[in-house]
Structure formats: structure tokens, C-alpha cells
Amino acid sequence: MNIASKADIGKTKIVRFRDVEIKDLDLTFRIKTMTALEVSGYEEYMTEGDHTSIQTISKLLSICIVDEKGVAFLSEEDIGKMDSNVFFELGQVAVDLNDIGAENQENLEKN
């Protein structure tokens, strides 16, 4: 095991991914962990006002769904057009992978 150096910070290998296969659509979505800066931005968004659970999950997924290079490519609007079952399945994975608190977890479970 290597000891981390300054050069290692920000490299893709430090970000964890989970691939979620949606078999009936023959698609795989890649969900990533958020960086510390992304967590900060997400938390700021959460404190800006009242958001529906759909808006909250859409924001999270717009940060966490990435392509094979680890780059986010979907807007919140794009994500809002997803099949609801896929939306909530991916949202649950993003919550679990990013260890998001119980309050957001409850929002997911209500839907």
C-alpha cells in the first residue's frame, strides 16, 4: 500500500465508484463519491430553502452520475425525466455510497 502524497489528491483513483446495472434497460450507470468540495456545495444547496425530495435527489445524482472518465454529464432537468424506479434506485445507491445523513435517507424512503 502506498502512502498518499499531494500529487495523489484529486486523482480519479481516490474517488470510489459503484456501477448500477439496470437490466431491463440494458444500461449501466456509474455513481461516484462526491469530493469534499462537492459535499460542501450539496450541503449549501440543502440549506438554501425548501426542496422537494425529487429536487434533492436530482441534485445529488447530477453530481454523482458520471461517464467512464468520471465526468458528470446529466443536468438536474435530465435526471428529472428518468423513469421513477430507476431514479430512486440510483438515488439510493448515491445516498449509500456517499454516506448521506438520515434526513435525506427518509426523503428517499418516502417515495
Assigned domain for 80 exists: yes
The rounded mean pLDDT for the chain is: 88
**How far is 55 from 70, CA to CA, in rounded Å?**
23
Assigned domain for 68 exists: yes
Assigned domain for 64 exists: yes
Q: Please check the confidence at residue 108 and state whether its pLDDT lies above 90.
A: no
3-class secondary structure, 46: helix
Assigned domain for 16 exists: no
Banded model confidence at residue 74, pLDDT cuts 50, 70, 90: very high
Assigned domain for 31 exists: yes
For residue 69, give its domain range. 26-110
Range 33-42 contact pairs with CB under 8 angstroms and sequence separation of 24 or more? 33/64, 33/97, 33/98, 34/63, 34/64, 34/98, 35/10, 38/63, 39/98
Q: Please check the confidence at residue 106 and state whether its pLDDT lies above 60.
A: no
The structural domain count of the chain equals 1
pTM over 0.85: no
Assigned domain for 14 exists: no
Q: Please check the confidence at residue 16 and state whether its pLDDT lies above 80.
A: yes
Assigned domain for 8 exists: no
Which strand (E) or helix (H) includes residue 65? Answer: strand 65-66
Assigned domain for 105 exists: yes
